Amino acid sequence: MGPVILAIESSCDETSAAIIQNGKVLNNIIASQTVHNKYGGVVPELASRAHQRNIVAVASYALGTANISMQDVDAIAFTRGPGLLGSLLVGVSFAKGIALALNKPLIEVNHMQAHVLAHFIDDPKPTFPFLCLTISGGHTQIVLVKDFLDMEVIGETQDDAVGEAFDKAAKILGLPYPGGPLIDKFAQSGNEKAFKFSKTIMPELDFSFSGIKTAFLYFVRDAKKSNPDFVENNLADLCASIQHHLIAMLLEKLIVASKKTGIRQIAIAGGVSANSRLRNMLLAEAEGRNWNVFIPAFEYCTDNAAMIAMAAHYKYLRGEFTSLDVTPLARMAI
């Protein structure tokens, strides 16, 4: 029998625990924090407190529903970074506490590597090398994945993440946090050609999303001056247009990355990969370009401990363990 690992994820605003046995994810327990909704974004101090309140219950529930006792666990895995320092600290301290008390090995996981490795939880699985567009509230990266634990970031945002752009655009439209899924929903009945925004030109494979955020803010503000009901009357078209603009920026660079590397195995990961229009546009693009596209199940797109468990499994097999004096890293390269 292969290793049994308890994995913990607490990098942002989801407290999550998962059990993996011999490379098979047995469960994936997620406690989402709703305390941030009224603030229009994650409030770091509130996130740490909520993690602290939930982590014991979430981990116990994961063990209980998998019918695994703490004694059966071969290693404890946790997200070391990148993420919010106070949030990470809760998960790291919890994992260290168990490891120390029960004399179990620790495995640190890079959250961004884990998003990529979410593709190995279910079938079909990509083969190496492949490209992974990792898009979330904190990150926008094109990753060249050479092996399970051998990855290279070949392009990334130089300012905001695309998820942040979705959330800020939603906030400008008066929608609550997190606005990405709401933009996706309202856009379904809108015309994506209704409003046009100018493109931010970035070199090579890099992205920039701060310009469009400001352009959208001014556009909506100016339109409201002459028509106070502008947003209410055009919500679906506004959502569809800004969504289309953001997705086009992502796909444009993904096409360049595929041409440059000659790789046609294309994966997407991270919270924004849940976007329905992105999925459709990517699949349409794939047909014309002979791409093989990989999209994880919805529950493995947003932050979750199953992906941490998957990464930990490969690290366990390679004997990559972490010492007890480990500290979290708010910034951590892949």
Identify which range of 32-40, 169-177, 274-282, 296-304 contacts Zn ion by CB under 5 A. 296-304
Per CB under 6 A, the list member of 9, 167, 192, 237 interacting with ligand KG4 is 167
Evaluate whether 313 touches 63 at the Cβ level (below 8 Å): no
What span, in angstroms and rounded, lies between the C-alpha atoms of 87 and 329? Answer: 11
Per CB under 6 A, the list member of 12, 107, 114, 254 interacting with ligand KG4 is 12
In the range 131-150, which residues lie near Zn ion by CB under 5 A? 136
81 interface partner picked from ligand KG4, Zn ion, none, CB below 5 to 8 A per type: none
* DSSP at 322: B
> Which residues make beta-bridge pairs with 24?
21
User: 257-266: b or e for each residue (b if 16 or more CB lie within 10 Å)?
Assistant: bbeeeebebb
Asked, as a colleague might, if the bond just before 124 is cis with ω within 30 of 0, I would say: yes
DSSP class per residue in 255-316: HHHHHHHT--EEEEESGGGG-HHHHHHHHHHHHHHT-EEE---GGGTSS-HHHHHHHHHHHH
19 interface partner picked from ligand KG4, Zn ion, none, CB below 5 to 8 A per type: none
Q: Is 186 in the site for ligand KG4 (CB under 6 A)?
A: no
Residue closer to ligand KG4, measured from CB, 75 or 142: 142
Q: Is 155 in the site for ligand KG4 (CB under 6 A)?
A: no
Per CB under 6 A, the list member of 9, 108, 160, 184 interacting with ligand KG4 is 184
Amino acid identity of 9?
A: E
Residue numbers at the binding site for Zn ion (CB under 5 A):
136, 303
Residue numbers at the binding site for ligand KG4 (CB under 6 A):
12, 136-138, 163, 166-167, 178-181, 184, 270-272, 274-275, 302-303
